[in-house]
Amino acid sequence: MRSDVFILLSCFVLAGCTARSHPAIYPDSRTASPLLSFATQSVSPTQATSELLLKLPLKAKSVRFAVIGDSGTGRSPQFEVAREMEAYRRIVNFSFVIMLGDNIYGGHSPRDFVKKFEEPYKPMLDAGVKFYASIGNHDSLSERQYNLFNMGGERYYGFKKNDVAFFVLDSSYMDPVQLSWLEKQLRESNAAWKICYFHHPLYSDGKFHGPDLDLRSVLTPLFQKYQVNVVLSGHEHVYERLKPQNNIYYFVLGNSGQLRFNNLRLSSQMEVGFDTDRDFMLVEVDGDNFYFQTITRSGATIDSGILRRQTNPSN
Amino acid sequence: MTIGSGTISIAFLLASFYFPLTQVASPTGKSVNQNSRIIQDFDRRLDSYAKLRKRAQAGLPNPKSETSAANVKQYQQSLAQNIRTARPQAKAGDIFTPAISQLFRELIETSIRGNSGNNIRASLRHAEPVHEFPLEVNQEYPQTSAMQSTPPTLLSNLPKLPPDLEYRIVGRGLVLLDTKSNLIVDLLPDALPISQGER
């Protein structure tokens, strides 16, 4: 049973917390999380044999999507994450995936696109799931014209699903033209939820990179002024959910293919961190609630909860 | 957005277009008229390259905004080949002339030593720096190499580029990259002060 596996893994993780200087999930206890509680349900996928542990409510007419970052290695861990995503897709029925950059590592020949994207996610692509990519530092700008990344030929772009607006940025080249575009889009958006995603994190406790302070200095004033609710980034090959910064929710998820083992440092801004395996995230937005569940390639849920839409995000 | 001293230097440069008779010293130490002439020369060279690229695109099938990976690659390679054919003698310094190079180094140094300098330096250190490797004009930027992000404050302090041209940092150098063809248009060695480039 998947839930049994989860419990076993949790026990292993908690046991590891006492035995190692670096616990797998930070902080040691997640009971202090300010998130609202939500009942966990075990569900049986129609074609899979084991039960999945689901922490999303699956409300009618909600917006459901998956999140991956730093995925495009073409190696077995990427395929394992993709298989777990597909198992959950059969239950959650998410219709799109957002990609936080580094979608294709190394070469960018047509064969690379097959090996590092089309093959791992084939079941989802066959089911009609759309992938919306952002550009990372290992990506080629030619990706913006690749039809399966749905970028419309642009380095940065936006799209909307019901009452959720997505602003997809090229954080490796945040020139004044892009900043002006972003400000215009945010100003004119009347969506209830404004979600920005891009590769380089503004806040991060990863030891390898850390936050991009210059990028933060130009983006956060816009995020606060125009009430952005959620910001997601990759680049750091770990998972981290930060405590709200200026009332904005920040996630880092850069371990859907790559992994930088034990690379997080504990900090006061960290809500939850995970740096010992690959994962992806499921999101369901319904009304004023943003439900999320972060799941490893082996099916363990390492973070989940509900974020309330901020009534006045900038304050 | 933080306004750094480099932004002020650009403001001086721009002001000189509108008040050409004014002789004011810019933060780079030159008169604004002198700097504006250098920037005009830079713009003229970029304009010339943009026209050349337009001609190179003319014989190619109109690229769709979204297409297959094979078509994307084919278009990029064909465009690169056409551009190489159109400027076979292109070499480093064709756009970054000595005067333009000097101005760029001063603008970059002013940015890095300005109010936003700490953030720019942190960005350069944390953005997975791309170390120096051999690059040549008319060569494709190697797609197996990561592309270091260019700090936004630094970008805001450099002259604006036409669409699909970008400033990229490699080691201490600044690369002028054509993102449509993935070709290196020109190179500016030692663009960053030594303390920033040596990591």
Tens of pLDDT along A163-191?
999 999 999 999 999 999 999 999 999 99
* Smallest Cα distance from B32 to chain A, Å: 22
Question: A146–B149: do the CB atoms touch at under 8 Å?
Answer: no
DSSP secondary structure letter of residue B151: P
3-state secondary structure B58-117: HCCCCCCCCECHHHHHHHHHHHHHHHHHHCCCCCCCCCCCHHHHHHHHHHHHHHHHCCCH
CATH number for the domain spanning A104: value is 3.60.21.10
Residues of B in contact with A130 (CB under 8 A): none
Identify whether A313 is part of a domain: no
- B-chain residues near A200 (CB < 8 A): 127, 149
The pTM for the full model equals 0.87
Q: Which of A214, A236, A237 to mutate to test the interface with B (most CBs of B within 10 A)?
A: A214
Q: Is residue A314 part of a domain?
A: no
User: pLDDT below 50 — which residues of chain B?
Assistant: 1-9, 12-22, 197-199
| Closest chain B residue by Cα to residue A108 | B143
A35: pLDDT strictly greater than 60: no
Of A110, A113, A145, the CB nearest to B63: A145
Give residue A197's domain range: 2-308
A146, A173, A179 ranked by CB distance to B149: nearest: A173
CB B175, CB B168: distance < 8 Å: yes
- Contact between chains at A176 and B151 (C-beta distance less than 8 A): no
Going by C-alpha positions, the residue among B166, B54, B20, B191 that lies closest to residue B109 is B191
Residue in B147, B148, B164, B199 to test binding to A, most A beta-carbons within 10 Å: B147
pLDDT, tens only, A198-209: 999 999 999 988
Q: Which residues does A contribute to its contact with B (CB < 8 Å)? A: 106-110, 112-114, 137-143, 145-147, 150-154, 171-177, 179, 200, 209-218, 221, 235
- Which ipTM was obtained for this model? 0.84
For residue A239, pLDDT beyond 50: yes
> Which chain A residue shows the shortest CA-CA distance from B116?
A214
pLDDT at A227 over 60: yes
The chain-wide mean pLDDT, for chain A, equals 88
Closest CA to A295 of A239, A247, A230: A239
Cβ contacts (< 8 Å) between A109 and chain B: which residues?
69, 73
Tokens matching residue A136? 């990372």
Percent of chain A's residues with pLDDT above 90? 80
pLDDT band at A55 (very low <50, low <70, confident <90, very high): very high
- Close Cβ partners of B58 (under 8 Å, ≥ 6 residues apart): none
Which one-letter DSSP state was computed for residue B12? H
Tokens for A178, please give them.
């892009």
Residue B36, class by beta-carbon neighbours within 10 Å (0-12 exposed, 13-18 middle, 19+ buried)?
buried
Domain positions in chain B are 5-197
The rounded distance, in Å, linking the Cα atoms of B111 and B134 is 26
The answer to whether residue A8 scores a pLDDT higher than 90 is no
Q: How close, in Å, is residue B98 to chain A by CA atoms?
A: 25
d(Cα B107, Cα B111) in Å, to the nearest integer?
6
Question: In B, which residues are within 8 Å of A142 by CB distance?
Answer: 72-73, 76, 182
Picking from A199, A178, A246, the residue whose alpha carbon sits closest to that of residue A72 is: A199
Q: Which residues on neighbouring strands pair with residue B157, listed in sequence order? A: none
- Asked if B127's CB is within 8 angstroms of A147's CB, the reply is no
Average pLDDT value for residue range A118-139: 98
Per the structure block, which two tokens stand in for A84?
């777990």
- The CA distance from B117 to the nearest CA of chain A, in Å, is 9
Q: Please tell me the predicted confidence (pLDDT) of residue A201.
A: 97
